Amino acid sequence: MNHERLKSYELLMGFAKKMPVLLARLPRGAGYLKDQLERALSSSILNLAEGNGRKSAKERNRFFDISSASIDEISSIMDLFVIFGYISKTECILSKNLLNRAVWYISRLKQFNLNISGS
């Protein structure tokens, strides 16, 4: 399983491990955001892993793009959590810093694929 060696995978899994504590704090009626966060986080991790298993640079980068877009969605959900008073601004910033690092590592993977394929 080569995806387990990716720094971006490690960062996203670390983020995922922190979610049960955060999600337990959400008030009744915020289940739709919990579901959306879980879907976006799952998508970011699963598309990263699937993309890493693909052979062609074009396919790999397509999955990496989906993973990055899902991370953007997570970031937006974190913004909503601040606005709705579910988490502190500091907690949001720390989360976003981790998410930004994951996206940076994914962008490096994409660049590597482009360099290899000559596209």
Query: Global pTM?
Result: 0.92
Q: Does the pLDDT of residue 119 top 80, yes or no?
A: no
Report pLDDT digits (tens) over 6-32.
999 999 999 999 999 999 999 999 999
CA distances from 71 to 28, 58, 96, 108, 115 (A): 25, 20, 9, 15, 24
Tokens 């940076």 -> residue: 104
Report pLDDT digits (tens) over 24-83.
999 999 999 999 999 999 999 999 999 999 999 999 999 999 999 999 999 999 999 999
Domains and CATH numbers, the chain: 2-117 (1.20.1440.60)
